[in-house]
């Protein structure tokens, strides 16, 4: 009997301890974010999701504001010489690492020298920057050619403490489950992959504006439905997904609870129809024109985005990007598509319902789609078939898609751009088309010297006026040549519990920006 009592006592003790630990400190204000961007390893430079999440603890030199403009973050301010060859970043002298060491310009210099050598995505720095030097409290980058996008590039790279990272030879292989040394208002205290949580705590040496929350927890969910349940139940306070929106099908359900509001923004990324421009008939502008008229944009928007967005323009670039230019809207007109195809010589000579190409063969095109865009691809197949072209749809996983598109084993493809993807290379989506670049998500199919010169001009622009002019030229180029056709411009919804207020979002990382986490507070 005594043993039985002991067992019961131990069980009660375990349960009580669990309950106490789960409750945590009642006074602490903890903001819990639920995300599907699952970190696979606690590697700041090796795991792309971890790299984004570390923006709070190791803020990049620059930041993007909610209106899409750029300003300094770890840098207090910045300037560029008239020839665009020298960039000077004045470092905020009020920043301290979480171990008490002051952040110096040497840390910034070290970061860029270090990642250019040891972090492949930053390898371009070696080829563009001749010298990085420290001048007083500033870091000066001397370039070997003008590069107008340097300030934009610097919104992505986390600043690293030299005294920690100089000892690490292979940063992409380095993992640290915490605590990590950071200089932001919050630093990573622990990355617990078993629990699926990244814990941020306040940086005790933060001297900037005081945050209104004590700690942040990022809860990672593999399953979108479970994350939605967790949000509704109150396990997490807000939703975050890089380059993505809360599922449109769940928005009304959350609204109906009366407990949620949404940060609503125009997406910078988009879903588009790409062409293999190295092959006929895709290399024929008239064919692409016909395709542009064959697609029912309103229907795609309604079915795939539940109407949360708008029919795009021929200029591809969405209005949420800087220097957007209004170009003619894309129009669904299958009759006109047929006329254009007839005029271009793609006629159905043998009356079998399928048009023939210049060689007299039935036009049969391979539409390669990534599995997440299967529904859109099925619709596009239907539209193109309706104007007399046979389409074989091949839906594949991402790895297969990357291989097939890199080997140009497709005619048409359905894929997407991300916010950063739209801004990489010469900005405005150019990185997806320029054949001189490669990468997992890009098509690299456009070798037109006119387009490539435009890209080079943008990269070498030395003033905002020049940039604006070239940005408009790029959008005109897209509108006239249709190297890719945007299928819809959609909205990004980020739900948050009404118990919290002060949310803001930027076009690049959505709510995952430092300003947002300094402003967010619990409703009194």
Residues that bind another protein (CB under 8 A): 14-15, 17-18, 21-22, 38, 40-41, 43, 46-48, 120-121, 123-124, 172-175, 193-197, 219-223, 225-226, 229-230, 232-233, 235, 243, 396-400, 402-404, 417-418, 420-421, 424-425, 431, 437-442
Give 127-157 as a 3 state SS string: HHEEEEEEECCEEEEEECCCCCCHHHHCCCC
**Cα angle for residues 448, 437, 330 (degrees, 5° grid):** 55
Q: How far is the CB of 98 from another protein (least distance, A)?
A: 22
For another protein, give the closer residue by CB, 48 or 101.
48
Q: How far is the CB of 52 from another protein (least distance, A)?
A: 10
For another protein, give the closer residue by CB, 44 or 461.
44
For another protein, give the closer residue by CB, 158 or 203.
158
Q: How far is the CB of 166 from another protein (least distance, A)?
A: 19
Partnered with residue 71 across adjacent β-strands are 63
Q: How far is the CB of 105 from another protein (least distance, A)?
A: 27
* Of residues 113, 127, 93, the one with CA closest to residue 160: 113
Q: How far is the CB of 341 from another protein (least distance, A)?
A: 32
- Classify residue 490 as left (phi > 0), alpha (psi -120 to 50) or beta: beta
The residue to which tokens 């952040």 are assigned: 103
For another protein, give the closer residue by CB, 268 or 365.
268
For another protein, give the closer residue by CB, 8 or 38.
38
- Classify residue 287 as left (phi > 0), alpha (psi -120 to 50) or beta: alpha
CA distance 381 to 392: 8
**Cα angle for residues 439, 464, 122 (degrees, 5° grid):** 30
Q: How far is the CB of 207 from another protein (least distance, A)?
A: 33
For another protein, give the closer residue by CB, 415 or 494.
415
The residue to which tokens 């909205």 are assigned: 491
Q: How far is the CB of 214 from another protein (least distance, A)?
A: 18
For another protein, give the closer residue by CB, 295 or 442.
442
Phi, psi of 31 (to 5 degrees): -100, 125
Task: Residue 95: count other Cβ atoms within 10 Å of its Cβ.
Answer: 22
């Amino acid at each position: 009997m005594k043993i039985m009592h002991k067992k019961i006592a131990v069980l009660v003790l375990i349960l009580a301890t669990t309950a106490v630990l789960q409750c945590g400190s009642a006074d602490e204000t903890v903001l819990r974010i639920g995300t599907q961007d699952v970190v696979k390893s606690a590697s700041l430079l090796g795991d792309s999701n971890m790299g984004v999440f570390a923006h709070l603890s190791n803020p990049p030199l620059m930041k993007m504001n909610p209106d899409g403009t750029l300003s300094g973050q770890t840098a207090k301010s910045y300037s560029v010489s008239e020839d665009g060859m020298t960039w000077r970043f004045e470092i905020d002298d009020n920043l301290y690492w979480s171990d008490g060491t002051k952040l110096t310009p040497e840390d910034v210099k070290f970061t860029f020298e270090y990642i250019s050598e040891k972090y492949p995505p930053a390898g371009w720095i070696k080829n563009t920057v001749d010298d990085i030097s420290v001048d007083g409290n500033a870091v000066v980058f001397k370039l070997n050619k003008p590069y107008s996008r340097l300030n934009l590039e610097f919104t992505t790279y986390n600043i690293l403490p030299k005294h920690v990272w100089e000892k690490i030879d292979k940063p992409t292989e380095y993992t640290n489950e915490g605590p990590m040394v950071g200089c932001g208002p919050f630093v990573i205290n622990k990355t617990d992959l078993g629990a699926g949580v990244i814990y941020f705590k306040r940086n005790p040496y933060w001297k900037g504006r005081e945050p209104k929350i004590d700690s942040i927890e990022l809860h990672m969910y593999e399953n979108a439905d479970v994350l939605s349940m967790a949000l509704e139940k109150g396990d997490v306070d807000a939703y975050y997904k890089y380059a993505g929106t809360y599922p449109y099908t769940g928005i009304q359900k959350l609204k109906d609870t009366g407990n949620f509001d949404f940060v609503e923004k125009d997406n910078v990324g988009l879903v588009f129809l790409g062409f293999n421009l190295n092959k006929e008939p895709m290399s024929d502008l008239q064919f692409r024109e016909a395709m542009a008229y064959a697609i029912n944009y309103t229907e795609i928007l309604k079915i795939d985005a539940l109407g949360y967005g708008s029919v795009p323009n021929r200029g591809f670039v969405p209005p949420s990007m800087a220097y957007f230019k209004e170009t003619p809207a894309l129009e669904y007109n299958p009759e006109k598509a047929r006329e254009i195809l007839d005029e271009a010589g793609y006629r159905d000579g043998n009356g079998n319902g399928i048009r023939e190409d210049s060689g007299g063969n039935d036009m049969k095109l391979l539409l390669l789609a990534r599995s997440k865009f299967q529904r859109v691809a099925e619709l596009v197949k239907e539209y193109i078939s309706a104007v007399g072209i046979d389409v074989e749809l091949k839906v594949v996983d991402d790895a297969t898609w990357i291989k097939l598109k890199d080997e140009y084993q497709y005619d048409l493809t359905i894929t997407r751009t991300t916010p950063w993807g739209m801004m990489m290379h010469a900005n405005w989506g150019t990185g997806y088309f320029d054949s001189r670049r490669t990468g997992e998500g890009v098509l690299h199919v456009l070798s037109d010297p006119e387009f490539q010169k435009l890209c080079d001009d943008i990269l070498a622009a030395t003033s905002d006026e020049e940039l604006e002019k070239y940005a408009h030229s790029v959008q005109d180029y897209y509108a006239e040549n249709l190297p890719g056709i945007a299928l819809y411009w959609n909205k990004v919804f980020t739900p948050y519990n009404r118990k919290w207020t002060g949310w803001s979002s930027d076009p690049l990382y959505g709510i995952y920006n430092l300003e947002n986490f300094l402003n967010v507070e619990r409703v009194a």
